[in-house]
Amino acid sequence: MPVSADDGYGVFPGFEFPLAWLLAPVTVQTFLDELWGAALHHIGRDRADYFDGLSGLATAGQLLESLRTEPSAVRLVRGADHLAPEQYTLADGTLDLGRIHAELENGYTIICNNIEKYLRPMSTLTHGVEVELNFPTHVNAYVTPPSAVGFLPHYDHHDVLVLQIQGHKTWYFYGDEPIPPHLMQQLHEVDPAGLPEPTSLHLSAGDTLYVPRGRVHSAETTSESSLHLTVGIHVPTVLTLLTHTLQLLSLRDDVVHTRLPARHLDDPQLQAGLGAVVRDALAAVETPAALAEGLGAMQDLLVRRARCPVVGQVADTVGIDADTLVRKQQPLYSRVTRTVDGVGLQFAQLVVSARPDHEAAMRFLSDATESFRVGELPGLTAAQQLELVRSLIMSGFLVRACASAPLSP
Protein backbone atom coordinates (compact mmCIF):
# COMPACT_ATOMS: atom_id res chain seq x y z
CA MET A 1 0.00 0.00 0.00
CA PRO A 2 1.55 3.35 -0.95
CA VAL A 3 1.89 5.85 1.86
CA SER A 4 1.72 9.61 1.96
CA ALA A 5 4.66 11.73 3.03
CA ASP A 6 2.26 13.40 5.45
CA ASP A 7 1.05 10.33 7.30
CA GLY A 8 2.52 8.37 10.18
CA TYR A 9 4.93 6.55 7.90
CA GLY A 10 6.29 9.66 6.22
CA VAL A 11 9.41 9.99 8.35
CA PHE A 12 10.65 6.57 7.16
CA PRO A 13 10.50 7.02 3.37
CA GLY A 14 10.08 3.75 1.53
CA PHE A 15 9.58 1.64 4.66
CA GLU A 16 6.44 0.60 6.52
CA PHE A 17 8.10 0.53 9.95
CA PRO A 18 11.04 2.53 11.32
CA LEU A 19 13.33 -0.31 12.40
CA ALA A 20 13.78 -1.51 8.80
CA TRP A 21 14.59 2.06 7.78
CA LEU A 22 17.11 2.52 10.59
CA LEU A 23 18.90 -0.74 9.72
CA ALA A 24 18.72 -0.83 5.89
CA PRO A 25 20.26 -2.52 3.98
CA VAL A 26 20.53 -4.99 6.88
CA THR A 27 17.16 -6.66 7.29
CA VAL A 28 15.42 -6.65 10.65
CA GLN A 29 15.47 -10.44 10.80
CA THR A 30 19.20 -10.60 10.07
CA PHE A 31 19.79 -7.97 12.71
CA LEU A 32 17.81 -9.93 15.32
CA ASP A 33 19.30 -13.31 14.36
CA GLU A 34 22.96 -12.35 13.99
CA LEU A 35 23.70 -9.00 15.64
CA TRP A 36 21.21 -8.28 18.40
CA GLY A 37 22.93 -8.36 21.78
CA ALA A 38 26.04 -9.89 20.25
CA ALA A 39 28.10 -7.55 18.12
CA LEU A 40 28.80 -3.95 17.24
CA HIS A 41 27.71 -3.17 13.71
CA HIS A 42 28.37 -0.10 11.57
CA ILE A 43 26.05 0.57 8.64
CA GLY A 44 27.80 3.02 6.33
CA ARG A 45 25.57 4.49 3.64
CA ASP A 46 27.48 7.31 1.94
CA ARG A 47 24.19 9.23 2.03
CA ALA A 48 24.37 12.40 4.09
CA ASP A 49 20.67 13.06 3.46
CA TYR A 50 19.45 9.67 4.70
CA PHE A 51 17.91 11.02 7.91
CA ASP A 52 16.51 14.23 6.43
CA GLY A 53 12.97 12.91 6.99
CA LEU A 54 13.36 13.41 10.73
CA SER A 55 11.87 16.90 10.75
CA GLY A 56 12.75 19.15 13.66
CA LEU A 57 16.45 18.35 13.34
CA ALA A 58 17.51 20.56 10.45
CA THR A 59 19.80 22.53 12.77
CA ALA A 60 20.83 22.48 16.41
CA GLY A 61 19.06 25.81 16.78
CA GLN A 62 15.78 24.36 15.52
CA LEU A 63 16.09 21.46 17.96
CA LEU A 64 16.77 23.77 20.91
CA GLU A 65 13.95 26.10 19.91
CA SER A 66 11.52 23.20 20.13
CA LEU A 67 12.75 22.55 23.69
CA ARG A 68 12.88 26.20 24.83
CA THR A 69 10.19 25.67 27.48
CA GLU A 70 11.53 22.23 28.53
CA PRO A 71 14.85 23.00 30.28
CA SER A 72 14.82 19.69 32.19
CA ALA A 73 15.36 17.92 28.85
CA VAL A 74 18.67 19.71 28.16
CA ARG A 75 22.11 19.14 29.66
CA LEU A 76 25.53 20.64 28.87
CA VAL A 77 28.53 18.35 29.33
CA ARG A 78 32.26 18.62 28.65
CA GLY A 79 34.03 15.49 29.82
CA ALA A 80 33.61 15.31 33.58
CA ASP A 81 32.27 18.88 33.71
CA HIS A 82 28.47 19.21 33.84
CA LEU A 83 27.00 22.72 33.85
CA ALA A 84 24.29 23.42 36.42
CA PRO A 85 20.90 24.17 34.78
CA GLU A 86 20.72 27.66 36.29
CA GLN A 87 23.73 28.57 34.17
CA TYR A 88 21.77 28.21 30.91
CA THR A 89 18.19 29.07 31.87
CA LEU A 90 16.46 32.44 32.07
CA ALA A 91 14.56 33.92 35.01
CA ASP A 92 11.27 32.66 33.59
CA GLY A 93 12.60 29.07 33.58
CA THR A 94 13.04 28.76 29.81
CA LEU A 95 16.29 27.95 28.03
CA ASP A 96 18.78 30.75 27.46
CA LEU A 97 19.56 29.85 23.86
CA GLY A 98 22.24 32.52 23.54
CA ARG A 99 24.12 31.17 26.54
CA ILE A 100 23.78 27.59 25.32
CA HIS A 101 25.26 28.46 21.93
CA ALA A 102 28.10 30.31 23.68
CA GLU A 103 28.86 27.22 25.77
CA LEU A 104 28.81 25.14 22.60
CA GLU A 105 31.58 27.40 21.33
CA ASN A 106 33.40 26.73 24.62
CA GLY A 107 33.49 22.99 23.89
CA TYR A 108 30.37 21.79 25.69
CA THR A 109 28.17 19.08 24.18
CA ILE A 110 24.43 19.78 24.25
CA ILE A 111 22.41 16.73 25.26
CA CYS A 112 18.65 16.72 24.67
CA ASN A 113 17.03 13.83 26.50
CA ASN A 114 13.85 11.95 25.59
CA ILE A 115 13.02 14.17 22.64
CA GLU A 116 10.25 11.76 21.64
CA LYS A 117 8.20 13.53 24.31
CA TYR A 118 8.39 16.82 22.43
CA LEU A 119 8.73 16.00 18.70
CA ARG A 120 6.03 13.85 17.13
CA PRO A 121 8.31 12.40 14.40
CA MET A 122 10.52 11.11 17.23
CA SER A 123 7.47 9.74 19.03
CA THR A 124 6.43 8.00 15.83
CA LEU A 125 9.91 6.53 15.47
CA THR A 126 10.22 5.26 19.03
CA HIS A 127 6.74 3.82 19.23
CA GLY A 128 7.24 2.14 15.87
CA VAL A 129 10.26 0.32 17.31
CA GLU A 130 8.26 -0.50 20.44
CA VAL A 131 5.42 -1.99 18.39
CA GLU A 132 7.84 -4.19 16.46
CA LEU A 133 10.11 -5.32 19.32
CA ASN A 134 7.90 -4.81 22.41
CA PHE A 135 10.81 -2.99 24.09
CA PRO A 136 10.46 0.53 25.57
CA THR A 137 12.48 2.99 23.47
CA HIS A 138 13.64 6.59 23.80
CA VAL A 139 15.67 9.08 21.73
CA ASN A 140 18.39 11.48 22.87
CA ALA A 141 20.08 14.10 20.68
CA TYR A 142 23.73 15.17 21.00
CA VAL A 143 25.17 18.36 19.52
CA THR A 144 28.97 18.39 19.82
CA PRO A 145 31.32 21.20 18.68
CA PRO A 146 34.44 20.51 16.58
CA SER A 147 37.30 18.49 18.13
CA ALA A 148 35.39 17.83 21.34
CA VAL A 149 34.47 14.90 23.59
CA GLY A 150 31.13 14.81 25.37
CA PHE A 151 31.22 11.96 27.89
CA LEU A 152 34.29 10.20 29.26
CA PRO A 153 34.45 6.42 28.57
CA HIS A 154 31.27 4.81 29.85
CA TYR A 155 28.71 2.11 29.05
CA ASP A 156 24.95 2.06 28.70
CA HIS A 157 22.58 -0.34 30.45
CA HIS A 158 20.54 -0.60 27.26
CA ASP A 159 21.15 -1.30 23.58
CA VAL A 160 21.63 1.73 21.34
CA LEU A 161 21.23 2.60 17.68
CA VAL A 162 23.33 5.67 16.87
CA LEU A 163 22.06 7.79 13.98
CA GLN A 164 24.61 10.26 12.63
CA ILE A 165 22.47 13.18 11.44
CA GLN A 166 25.08 15.82 10.59
CA GLY A 167 28.85 15.98 10.53
CA HIS A 168 31.24 13.19 11.49
CA LYS A 169 32.16 11.47 14.72
CA THR A 170 34.77 8.90 15.76
CA TRP A 171 33.69 6.29 18.28
CA TYR A 172 36.16 4.43 20.51
CA PHE A 173 35.47 1.01 22.03
CA TYR A 174 37.51 -0.37 24.90
CA GLY A 175 37.79 -4.14 24.86
CA ASP A 176 35.79 -6.71 22.90
CA GLU A 177 33.48 -7.91 25.66
CA PRO A 178 30.59 -6.02 27.31
CA ILE A 179 30.33 -5.46 31.03
CA PRO A 180 28.23 -8.40 32.38
CA PRO A 181 24.73 -7.34 33.50
CA HIS A 182 25.30 -8.30 37.13
CA LEU A 183 28.38 -6.07 37.25
CA MET A 184 26.50 -3.21 35.59
CA GLN A 185 24.26 -3.21 38.67
CA GLN A 186 27.33 -2.65 40.88
CA LEU A 187 29.62 -0.42 38.82
CA HIS A 188 28.59 3.20 38.45
CA GLU A 189 31.64 4.58 36.68
CA VAL A 190 34.42 3.26 34.48
CA ASP A 191 38.03 3.71 35.61
CA PRO A 192 39.79 5.09 32.51
CA ALA A 193 43.17 3.98 33.87
CA GLY A 194 42.13 0.34 33.70
CA LEU A 195 40.91 0.37 30.11
CA PRO A 196 42.71 -1.32 27.20
CA GLU A 197 43.71 0.54 24.06
CA PRO A 198 40.54 1.31 22.09
CA THR A 199 39.50 0.38 18.61
CA SER A 200 37.73 3.05 16.57
CA LEU A 201 34.85 3.48 14.13
CA HIS A 202 34.20 6.59 12.05
CA LEU A 203 30.59 7.67 11.47
CA SER A 204 29.51 10.02 8.69
CA ALA A 205 26.13 11.67 8.22
CA GLY A 206 23.55 9.07 7.22
CA ASP A 207 25.27 6.17 9.04
CA THR A 208 23.80 3.90 11.73
CA LEU A 209 25.81 2.21 14.48
CA TYR A 210 24.47 -0.55 16.72
CA VAL A 211 26.02 -0.74 20.20
CA PRO A 212 24.93 -3.61 22.50
CA ARG A 213 24.48 -2.85 26.17
CA GLY A 214 27.56 -2.87 28.34
CA ARG A 215 30.12 -1.94 25.66
CA VAL A 216 32.49 0.69 27.06
CA HIS A 217 32.82 3.57 24.62
CA SER A 218 33.50 7.25 24.07
CA ALA A 219 33.24 9.51 21.02
CA GLU A 220 34.78 12.71 19.66
CA THR A 221 34.13 15.02 16.77
CA THR A 222 36.45 15.85 13.92
CA SER A 223 37.12 19.35 12.60
CA GLU A 224 33.39 20.06 12.25
CA SER A 225 30.45 19.97 14.63
CA SER A 226 28.25 16.90 14.90
CA LEU A 227 24.59 16.10 15.54
CA HIS A 228 23.66 12.52 16.30
CA LEU A 229 20.75 10.69 17.88
CA THR A 230 20.80 7.65 20.11
CA VAL A 231 17.78 5.37 19.96
CA GLY A 232 17.92 3.66 23.35
CA ILE A 233 16.21 0.24 23.42
CA HIS A 234 15.44 -0.95 26.95
CA VAL A 235 15.01 -4.72 26.90
CA PRO A 236 12.93 -6.15 29.75
CA THR A 237 14.57 -9.07 31.55
CA VAL A 238 13.36 -12.10 33.46
CA LEU A 239 13.70 -9.93 36.56
CA THR A 240 11.24 -7.47 34.99
CA LEU A 241 8.71 -10.22 34.32
CA LEU A 242 9.14 -11.73 37.78
CA THR A 243 8.70 -8.35 39.44
CA HIS A 244 5.41 -7.65 37.65
CA THR A 245 4.16 -11.19 38.14
CA LEU A 246 4.95 -11.26 41.86
CA GLN A 247 3.36 -7.87 42.38
CA LEU A 248 0.08 -8.93 40.77
CA LEU A 249 0.17 -12.35 42.43
CA SER A 250 0.44 -10.60 45.78
CA LEU A 251 -2.98 -9.01 45.16
CA ARG A 252 -4.80 -12.35 44.92
CA ASP A 253 -2.68 -15.14 46.45
CA ASP A 254 -1.41 -15.26 50.01
CA VAL A 255 1.39 -17.66 49.11
CA VAL A 256 3.76 -14.71 48.62
CA HIS A 257 2.62 -13.26 51.94
CA THR A 258 3.64 -16.34 53.92
CA ARG A 259 5.35 -15.01 57.02
CA LEU A 260 8.92 -15.99 57.77
CA PRO A 261 9.50 -17.56 61.19
CA ALA A 262 11.02 -15.73 64.11
CA ARG A 263 14.83 -15.96 64.26
CA HIS A 264 15.06 -16.97 60.61
CA LEU A 265 18.23 -14.90 60.23
CA ASP A 266 20.06 -16.72 63.03
CA ASP A 267 18.73 -20.30 63.08
CA PRO A 268 20.33 -22.58 60.41
CA GLN A 269 17.52 -25.14 60.73
CA LEU A 270 14.88 -22.52 60.04
CA GLN A 271 16.90 -21.24 57.09
CA ALA A 272 17.08 -24.73 55.63
CA GLY A 273 13.30 -24.89 55.63
CA LEU A 274 12.87 -21.63 53.73
CA GLY A 275 13.59 -23.35 50.44
CA ALA A 276 10.21 -25.07 50.57
CA VAL A 277 8.44 -21.76 51.20
CA VAL A 278 10.20 -20.14 48.26
CA ARG A 279 9.44 -23.12 46.00
CA ASP A 280 5.73 -22.80 46.80
CA ALA A 281 5.81 -19.13 45.80
CA LEU A 282 7.76 -19.85 42.62
CA ALA A 283 5.31 -22.61 41.69
CA ALA A 284 2.52 -20.04 41.91
CA VAL A 285 4.50 -17.55 39.84
CA GLU A 286 5.13 -19.94 36.97
CA THR A 287 1.50 -20.85 36.39
CA PRO A 288 0.14 -19.72 33.02
CA ALA A 289 -2.39 -17.44 34.71
CA ALA A 290 0.23 -15.68 36.82
CA LEU A 291 2.63 -15.24 33.90
CA ALA A 292 -0.23 -13.92 31.75
CA GLU A 293 -0.92 -11.30 34.40
CA GLY A 294 2.74 -10.28 34.49
CA LEU A 295 2.89 -10.01 30.71
CA GLY A 296 -0.38 -8.07 30.75
CA ALA A 297 1.14 -5.53 33.11
CA MET A 298 4.10 -5.11 30.75
CA GLN A 299 1.68 -4.73 27.83
CA ASP A 300 -0.17 -2.05 29.73
CA LEU A 301 3.04 -0.07 30.24
CA LEU A 302 3.94 -0.34 26.56
CA VAL A 303 0.45 0.74 25.48
CA ARG A 304 0.54 3.79 27.73
CA ARG A 305 3.90 4.93 26.36
CA ALA A 306 2.33 5.92 23.04
CA ARG A 307 1.21 9.47 22.43
CA CYS A 308 -2.47 9.79 21.63
CA PRO A 309 -3.01 9.42 17.89
CA VAL A 310 -4.30 12.28 15.77
CA VAL A 311 -8.07 12.08 16.20
CA GLY A 312 -10.41 11.86 13.25
CA GLN A 313 -13.08 14.32 12.16
CA VAL A 314 -16.79 13.76 11.67
CA ALA A 315 -16.21 14.27 7.95
CA ASP A 316 -13.90 11.23 7.95
CA THR A 317 -16.85 8.99 8.84
CA VAL A 318 -19.23 10.21 6.14
CA GLY A 319 -20.12 7.66 3.48
CA ILE A 320 -18.61 4.66 5.24
CA ASP A 321 -20.16 1.32 4.30
CA ALA A 322 -19.25 -2.36 4.40
CA ASP A 323 -16.85 -2.00 1.45
CA THR A 324 -14.90 0.96 2.86
CA LEU A 325 -11.20 0.22 3.31
CA VAL A 326 -9.72 1.23 6.66
CA ARG A 327 -6.44 0.60 8.40
CA LYS A 328 -5.05 0.81 11.88
CA GLN A 329 -3.12 3.98 12.66
CA GLN A 330 0.58 3.14 12.62
CA PRO A 331 2.59 2.82 14.68
CA LEU A 332 0.15 2.06 17.48
CA TYR A 333 0.52 -0.69 20.06
CA SER A 334 -2.81 -1.94 21.38
CA ARG A 335 -4.35 -4.75 23.37
CA VAL A 336 -7.78 -6.11 24.25
CA THR A 337 -8.75 -6.29 27.91
CA ARG A 338 -11.74 -7.57 29.82
CA THR A 339 -13.88 -4.94 31.51
CA VAL A 340 -16.70 -5.18 34.02
CA ASP A 341 -19.32 -4.93 31.28
CA GLY A 342 -17.49 -6.47 28.32
CA VAL A 343 -14.22 -5.78 26.52
CA GLY A 344 -11.99 -2.78 25.94
CA LEU A 345 -9.60 -1.88 23.14
CA GLN A 346 -6.71 -0.11 24.85
CA PHE A 347 -4.28 2.13 22.95
CA ALA A 348 -2.19 5.11 24.04
CA GLN A 349 -4.05 6.70 26.96
CA LEU A 350 -7.46 5.63 25.65
CA VAL A 351 -9.83 2.69 26.08
CA VAL A 352 -12.78 2.08 23.75
CA SER A 353 -15.27 -0.17 25.54
CA ALA A 354 -17.89 -2.47 24.03
CA ARG A 355 -20.22 -5.33 24.93
CA PRO A 356 -18.87 -8.89 25.21
CA ASP A 357 -20.12 -9.80 21.70
CA HIS A 358 -17.49 -7.38 20.30
CA GLU A 359 -14.50 -9.37 21.58
CA ALA A 360 -13.70 -11.14 18.30
CA ALA A 361 -13.89 -7.85 16.39
CA MET A 362 -11.73 -6.08 18.97
CA ARG A 363 -9.04 -8.77 18.75
CA PHE A 364 -9.18 -8.62 14.95
CA LEU A 365 -8.62 -4.86 15.14
CA SER A 366 -5.79 -5.08 17.66
CA ASP A 367 -3.95 -7.70 15.58
CA ALA A 368 -4.53 -6.01 12.20
CA THR A 369 -1.42 -5.12 10.21
CA GLU A 370 -3.03 -4.60 6.79
CA SER A 371 -5.95 -2.61 5.44
CA PHE A 372 -9.34 -4.32 5.65
CA ARG A 373 -12.96 -3.67 4.70
CA VAL A 374 -15.46 -2.66 7.36
CA GLY A 375 -17.58 -5.70 6.49
CA GLU A 376 -14.70 -8.03 7.44
CA LEU A 377 -15.02 -7.31 11.18
CA PRO A 378 -16.00 -10.68 12.67
CA GLY A 379 -18.92 -11.44 14.96
CA LEU A 380 -20.86 -8.21 14.42
CA THR A 381 -23.95 -7.16 12.53
CA ALA A 382 -23.55 -4.66 9.69
CA ALA A 383 -24.87 -1.88 11.91
CA GLN A 384 -22.43 -2.78 14.70
CA GLN A 385 -19.53 -2.84 12.25
CA LEU A 386 -20.30 0.67 11.05
CA GLU A 387 -20.82 2.00 14.58
CA LEU A 388 -17.54 0.55 15.84
CA VAL A 389 -15.49 1.77 12.86
CA ARG A 390 -16.92 5.29 13.13
CA SER A 391 -16.06 5.36 16.83
CA LEU A 392 -12.50 4.18 16.21
CA ILE A 393 -11.93 6.70 13.42
CA MET A 394 -13.08 9.49 15.71
CA SER A 395 -10.75 8.27 18.48
CA GLY A 396 -7.78 8.00 16.09
CA PHE A 397 -7.34 4.22 16.15
CA LEU A 398 -8.45 3.77 12.53
CA VAL A 399 -8.05 5.87 9.40
CA ARG A 400 -9.56 5.41 5.97
CA ALA A 401 -6.98 3.61 3.87
CA CYS A 402 -7.13 6.19 1.11
CA ALA A 403 -6.74 9.14 3.51
CA SER A 404 -3.64 10.51 5.16
CA ALA A 405 -3.30 11.02 8.88
CA PRO A 406 -1.13 14.13 9.27
CA LEU A 407 1.28 14.40 12.17
CA SER A 408 0.83 17.12 14.72
CA PRO A 409 3.72 19.53 15.15
pLDDT in tens, 374-388: 999 999 999 999 999
Statement to judge: residues 45 and 105 lie in one domain? yes
Residue 5 lies in a domain: no
Residue 279 lies in a domain: yes
How many domains does the structure of the chain reveal?
A: 3
Statement to judge: residues 279 and 359 lie in one domain? no
Amino acid at 202: H
pTM: 0.88
User: Strand, helix or coil at 212?
Assistant: coil
Statement to judge: residues 78 and 149 lie in one domain? yes
Core vs surface per residue 161-187: b (16+ CB within 10 A) or e: bbbbbbbbbbbbbbeeebbeeeeeeee
Statement to judge: residues 277 and 336 lie in one domain? no
Residue 114 has pLDDT above 60, yes or no: yes
Give the count of alpha carbons within 13 A of 51, CB side only. Answer: 27
Report, as an integer, the average pLDDT of 80-94: 93
Alpha helices in 171-229, H assignment, sequence order: 181-184
Question: What's the distance, CA 340 to chain centroid?
Answer: 31
User: Strand, helix or coil at 62?
Assistant: helix
pLDDT in tens, 13-60: 777 789 999 999 999 999 999 999 999 999 999 999 999 877 556 677
Reference 207, options 222, 232, 227; nearest CA is 227
Statement to judge: residues 26 and 99 lie in one domain? yes
Residue 110 lies in a domain: yes
Residue 7 lies in a domain: no
Statement to judge: residues 106 and 245 lie in one domain? no
Residue 369 lies in a domain: yes
The end-to-end CA distance of the chain, in Å, is 25
Statement to judge: residues 251 and 382 lie in one domain? no
Asked if residues 174 and 196 have their Cβ atoms less than 8 Å apart, the reply is yes
pLDDT in tens, 250-290: 999 999 999 999 999 999 999 999 999 999 999 999 999 99
Asked if residues 216 and 179 have their Cβ atoms less than 8 Å apart, the reply is yes
CATH code (residue 93) = 2.60.120.650
pLDDT of 330: 82
Report, as an integer, the average pLDDT of 304-331: 88
| 354 burial via Cβ count (<10 Å: 0-12, 13-18, 19+) | buried
Amino acid at 279: R
Statement to judge: residues 50 and 177 lie in one domain? yes
Statement to judge: residues 288 and 318 lie in one domain? no
Statement to judge: residues 296 and 359 lie in one domain? no
Last residue of a domain, one of 217, 233, 249: 233
C-alpha separations of 93 from 83, 88, 102, 142, 344 in Å: 16, 10, 18, 22, 41
Q: What angle do CA 265, 268, 274 make, to 5 degrees?
A: 70
Separation CA 278–CA 286 (nearest Å) = 12
Statement to judge: residues 209 and 104 lie in one domain? yes
Range of the domain at 254: 240-259+267-301
CATH code (residue 341) = 3.90.930.40
Statement to judge: residues 229 and 348 lie in one domain? no
Q: Which long-range contacts (CB under 8 A, 24 or more apart) does 336-343 make?
A: 336/362, 336/363, 336/366, 337/296
Residue 81 lies in a domain: yes
Q: Which residue has the higher pLDDT, 405 or 309?
A: 309
Residue 39 lies in a domain: yes
Residue 409 lies in a domain: no
Residue 181 has pLDDT above 50, yes or no: yes
